């Protein structure tokens, strides 16, 4: 059975009129995709608020300060997981993902990424067609505008495993 086509959607905060729009879109995504989610993690080292964040600035800065006060283990790999069945944990993750150097939402299937923020600057969704349709329906149902380029983005079938990577 061939893999489902996947659409790549750019989601950097500066593309929205208000950063809270980007947060809301991620929040809706986490609610809709929750049954299909695997690990939802971020790097808690060096968290920094997005410059144009407005509404929840003080609350999120307090959350960042609390995380920075937590003891750091000896392990070199730093990753903090968030439980998506917990509404407060989802809220925290949404605001911290864009404050992090690396934040990732994985699917239950290994090696499939649904969402990622890299270096606080680059944010991307990779959505299989069925999940994209469900997500867009949920956004419309909540009255959120879907970015125009998301509506026109073309889904692509993943390459077979033997064609992936740097094989020449």
Q: List pLDDT tens digits, range 80-137.
A: 899 999 999 999 999 899 999 999 999 987 678 999 999 888 999 999 999 999 999 9
Confidence of residue 56 (pLDDT cuts 50, 70, 90): confident
Three-point CA angle 79, 95, 98, nearest 5°: 70
pLDDT in tens, 23-43: 999 999 999 999 999 999 999
Please report, to the nearest 10 degrees, the dihedral formed by the alpha carbons of residues 95, 97, 98, 99 taken in order.
80
SS3 readout for 42-98: ECCCCCCCCCCCCCCHHHHHHHHHHHHHCCCCCCCCCCEECCCCCHHHHHHHHHHHC
Which sequence spans correspond to the domains of the chain?
Answer: 6-147+154-162
Please name every residue paired with 41 in a beta bridge, in sequence order, or none if there are none.
81, 104
């Amino acid at each position: 059975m061939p893999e489902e086509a996947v659409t790549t959607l750019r989601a950097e905060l500066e593309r929205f009129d208000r950063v809270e729009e980007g947060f809301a879109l991620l929040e809706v995504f986490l609610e809709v995709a929750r049954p299909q989610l695997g690990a939802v993690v971020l790097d808690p080292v060096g968290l920094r608020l997005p410059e144009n964040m407005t509404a929840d600035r003080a609350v999120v800065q307090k959350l960042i300060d609390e995380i920075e006060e937590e003891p750091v283990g000896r392990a070199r790999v730093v990753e903090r997981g968030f439980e998506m069945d917990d509404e407060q944990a989802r809220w925290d993750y949404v605001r911290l993902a864009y404050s992090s150097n690396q934040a990732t939402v994985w699917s239950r299937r290994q090696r499939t990424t649904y969402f990622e923020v890299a270096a606080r600057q680059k944010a991307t969704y990779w959505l299989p067609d069925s999940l994209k349709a469900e997500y867009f329906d949920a956004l419309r149902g909540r009255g959120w505008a879907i970015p125009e380029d998301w509506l026109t983005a073309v889904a692509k079938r993943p390459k077979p495993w033997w064609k992936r990577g740097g094989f020449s």
